[in-house]
Homo-oligomer: A and B are copies of this chain.
Amino acid sequence: MAPAGQKKVSRIHVQLSVCTPSHAKLSSFFILFNTNVTNFYATCALPQGILERLDAGEVVIGDGGFVFALEKRGYVQAGPWTPEAAAEHPEAVRQLHREFLRAGANVMQTFTFYASDDKLENRGNKQRFTGQQINEAACDLAREVANEGDALVAGGVSQTPSYLSCKSEDEVKAIFMKQIEVFVKKNVDFLIAEYFEHVEEAEWAVQVLKTTGKPVAASLCIGPDGDLNRVSPGDCAVRLVNAGAHIVGINCHFDPETCLKTVKLMMEGVKKAGLKAHFMIQPLAYHTPDCGCQGFIDLPEFPFSLEPRILTRWDMQKYAREAYNAGIRYIGGCCGFEPYHTRALAEELAPERGFLPAGSEKHGNWGSSLALHTKPWVRARARRDYWETLKPASGRPMCPSMSTPDSWGVTKGHADLMQQKEATSQEQLKALFDKAAHSH
């Protein structure tokens, strides 16, 4: 759509570096900016690598969670949460990548979450595609969309049922190696080991990832109380840096506020150990003030009744600002994030990044586009102070505001966590139903 030989971009350093004396002023500038200007064409520099960006102090916006978003769209199965849609429904995965790109994401994570063979075959989760097929398809989709804008491709691995079932270090590492081989072949830009509940398994993953020579990020799904063996966030971070990770942080399981608290503990730990690292944060888009050490998995609403907990875009802007102020530069999202959540991060950090995302083309900051609404009382909401202070009602007077999390207190090595290829039997289910009935 851009004129020949040019590329449509949104980055206009000069203009904005002039007019950012304060955050408050900038907001009103953007309102004008948005409603008057729609497209910019300019010569665009090649994207830099992840470490160059972070070393330069640039903000890197991560994308959002795929399994939750695609389950809602009809392409991922709740329960196993495996990514066979990358091979089976590429148009749906491509579209979601594109939406996150348009929302301002600088990273396209390959849709390879839980794409290890042991997980793909777990508990009767029959597949028509091999792990290799899925991993390859996911790499191709991420690269295709990344090339539509200014984004890097990150190959991702995550925790394995094998570890929970007490397989050996060699066995677990072999599983990661199989995925890595695809990432190397497809030449992703960097690697992420994410969603680990045990720092030990994450260390193993980092050690495998390091063999590629590519930049490595490592992200745990733990809270301020530490990993499931109660290793503190500070100690976890130190161990991951020592294992070779360039970027460490937190993803999933907890809301932005809790994740922020945890990353801060990681930062303190790394600093105290005399080490250096970059930090990342990719929280849930759900409020979880009431969760225990396993986060939202333990909440009774997981995964099918989390709706009332979904963050608004204004919650997201607050989170982005606080993460930035804490010194975190890789700021993204995980389960529950829809493209508009990511867009809110990019809009909040537009002053720092120097541009608004493509998806904001027709959008105004802080609700300014409501100035075009038919009804005058809705136009009266086209302002920051309205949305920033609103306490949104749940519309559910019969419901509480907090829940009591399940706390079965089992972790790696517990018999209840042993994984199996065959489907959960009716007898196994009945035993669990009975146990649940007694725990309440």
Chain A residues near B (Cβ < 8 Å): 35, 38, 71-75, 77-80, 91-92, 95, 98-99, 102-103, 122-126, 161, 164, 255, 286-290, 294, 297-314, 338-340, 343, 358-359, 362-364, 367, 369-383, 386-387, 390-404, 406, 408, 410, 416-417, 419, 423-424, 428-429, 432-433, 435-436, 439
Contact = CB atoms under 8 A, between A and B. Distances in A.
A373 B124 CA distance: 10
Chain A to chain B: the 6 pairs with minimum beta-carbon distance, closest first: A74-B359, A287-B395, A397-B402, A380-B436, A309-B395, A79-B372
A377 B432 contact: yes
A124 B35 contact: yes
Contacts of A392: 301, 305-309, 396, 399, 403
B429 A371 contact: yes
Given A71-B340, A310-B310, A314-B304, A394 B399 contact: yes
Nearest to A436: B380
A80 B180 CA distance: 47
Copies of this chain, count? 4
Contacts of A362: 77
A380 to B, nearest CB: 4
A197 to B, nearest CB: 10
Given A287-B395, A393-B401, 15 more contacts: A78-B363, A79-B373, A286-B395, A287-B396, A290-B395, A305-B392, A307-B310, A308-B310, A374-B417, A377-B408, A379-B429, A379-B432, A392-B399, A398-B402, A398-B404
B401 A399 contact: yes
A212 B255 CA distance: 53
Contacts of A398: 391, 400, 402-404
B377 A287 contact: no
B74 A394 contact: no
A174 to B, nearest CB: 20
Q: Among A35, A77, A370, A393, which residue has the most Cβ atoms of chain B within 10 A?
A: A393
Contacts of A314: 304-305
A77 B300 CA distance: 35
Nearest to A415: B376
A72 B340 contact: yes
Contacts of A359: 74-75
A311 to B, nearest CB: 7
16 contacts: A77-B369, A79-B370, A122-B374, A287-B396, A294-B375, A297-B378, A301-B393, A303-B378, A304-B367, A307-B308, A307-B392, A309-B393, A310-B310, A371-B423, A386-B436, A397-B401
A298 B377 contact: yes
B74 A372 contact: no
A219 to B, nearest CB: 18
B74 A99 contact: yes
